[in-house]
Structure 1
Amino acid sequence: MTAPALIALAHGSRDPRSAATITALVDEVRAMRPDLRIEPAFLELSKPSFDKVVDKLVKAGYDEIVVVPLLLNNAYHAQVDVPAAVEAAGARHPGLQVRATKILGLENVFLEVLDERLRAALKEQRVRELDALVLAAAGSSDSVANQAVARLARVWGAHHKLPVVAAFASSAPPAAGEAVRQFRTEGRRHIAVGSLFLAPGFLPDRAAELALEAGAVAVSAPLGAHPEVARTILARYAVGAVELVPV
């Protein structure tokens, strides 16, 4: 019996670095599970599209597909776009079983990835001292999604025994630059920013630009293609594959 195919479904971006990062992340997943058929896909702006990947898998003989949404926040894309795309795929292909799993979400283990990225940025800037942290995320009009980022920020700050503020690149205050400036008004001068984004693009670039203009000493790269992120994708897939099994 062939295992269900896995589609790692990202939002997509006009920035080609984003699709390249998602492809590299999928390569990490494939290296861990070479026995599975694993494909990247995008909701919009990047290629290949979700519909085309589904069509390709059906043509290859797959009648079960597990979709893992590569989203960090359970906001509009997770609640509306992904379910609509999955429902449309099922309607287009009678007999196809396709199920979306939980999103990647804000797992505490991602803070380890964030620390690794931030250590690299601090080393590059030759920074040895920090007195505050900013956790920069995309932001959402959904206050619950923003509160989830704020909770993760508190966990991060407690781990490092440093004050921390969650900042957002869109839809909600404060912006990364505002958060850095607030810390500076308190007399803090060694403020680093962790980029809680999965891949490069306009929003992480804008957050980094504003933070550095405001006086941040370093800004980390996004989480990107990392084994911990790949393992989380496979954990989501495992649950989704079990849910496809008839009771």
Structure 2
Amino acid sequence: MIPLVAVAHGSRDPRSAATVRALVDRIAAAAPELDVRVSFLDLSEPLVTDVLRDLVAEGHREAVVVPLLLGSAFHARVDLPALVAEVPALRATIADVLGADLEPVAFDRLAAVADVSDPGLGVVLAAVGSSRAAANEAVAAVARRWQSRHGFRAVAAFASAAKPDMPAAVAKLRARGASRIAVASWFLAPGLLPDRIAALAREAEPSVVLADCLAGDPRVVSLVLERYATALAGAARSA
């Protein structure tokens, strides 16, 4: 079968790469017939270009690259296609990012640490942030859906490149009457930015509760395999 190359952003924090590698190990275990490989855009090894070159050296001519990214921002739209293009001997199909299909996972992580039926609850959905407005709006739309469906107050906050930041988001929820604050995670793995989010949240509200990152949920494994199958079918139709 055509190999699946999972590619995450990469981080200087070793916990991030370890979490991604554990996720990819679970993907491989769930689909033992597949050749599943882990890779990174930057900062962690192996780099995606090295993995793609290894596939060529082994005689492969095709691969499906599945971005372990939550937003369709610069890394997904620019960085990854450019890196794939550096290995022209391999016909690599890039699957969609994981994106909004992880919304139920993020909500369940939240519900594990906070009473989502509490009318006094205020929820900050914390994400990395992007210079691309559409990527930030996708996160804000998740927060609005939660507010509409579940009745608690909810806003998005961003670790970098976008507003509001965590202190402003907490202040906004307090102004809207929230008496308890919880932070939901829009991060796949732990790392420096989630740590920054957590520190700022505790400064703004010492009693805040923090939901876990998303990679440990088995639905992430299923979604990656679904992205692979969809991309593979699309590649077959266009061949």
- What TM-score do you get using the length of structure 1 for normalisation? 0.89
- How far, CA to CA, are the matches of 1:72 and 1:207 in structure 2? 17
Compute the RMSD of aligned alpha carbons: 1.9
| Equivalent residue, structure 1, for 2:44 | 46
* Contact 1:25 1:226 (C-alpha < 8 Å) held by counterparts: no
Deviation of the 1:157 alpha carbon: 2.1
Paired AA for residue 118 in structure 1: L
Q: Which residue of 50, 71, 74 maps to 1:73?
A: 71
Q: Deviations over 1:195-224 (max 9, x none)?
A: 111111111111111112111520112112
Percentage of identical aligned residues: 46
- How far, CA to CA, are the matches of 1:158 and 1:28 in structure 2? 34
Whether 2:145 is the aligned partner of 1:145: answer: no
Paired AA for residue 103 in structure 2: L
Distance 1:59-1:225 versus aligned 2 partners, 3 A rule: farther
Q: Deviations over 1:80-102 (max 9, x none)?
A: 10110111112xx2xx2111111
* Contact 2:181 2:209 (C-alpha < 8 Å) held by counterparts: yes
Q: Which residue of 28, 31, 50 maps to 1:30?
A: 28
| Equivalent residue, structure 1, for 2:208 | 217
- How far, CA to CA, are the matches of 1:5 and 1:44 in structure 2? 21
Deviation of the 1:121 alpha carbon: 3.5
- How far, CA to CA, are the matches of 1:49 and 1:102 in structure 2? 19
- What TM-score do you get using the length of structure 2 for normalisation? 0.92
| Equivalent residue, structure 1, for 2:103 | 111
**What are the equivalent positions in structure 2 for 1:75-224 lying under 5 Å apart?**
75-90=73-88, 93=89, 96-107=90-101, 110-122=102-114, 129=118, 130-215=120-205, 217-224=208-215
* Contact 2:157 2:164 (C-alpha < 8 Å) held by counterparts: yes
- How far, CA to CA, are the matches of 1:116 and 1:24 in structure 2? 21
Q: Deviations over 1:27-62 (max 9, x none)?
A: 221122110000110010001111221122223332
Paired AA for residue 17 in structure 1: R
- How far, CA to CA, are the matches of 2:69 and 2:114 in structure 1? 27
SS in 1 for 2:182: strand
- How far, CA to CA, are the matches of 1:186 and 1:242 in structure 2? 47
The aligned length equals: 236
Deviation of the 1:242 alpha carbon: 1.9
Q: Which residue of 222, 227, 231 maps to 1:236?
A: 227
* Contact 1:177 1:212 (C-alpha < 8 Å) held by counterparts: no
Deviation of the 1:160 alpha carbon: 2.0
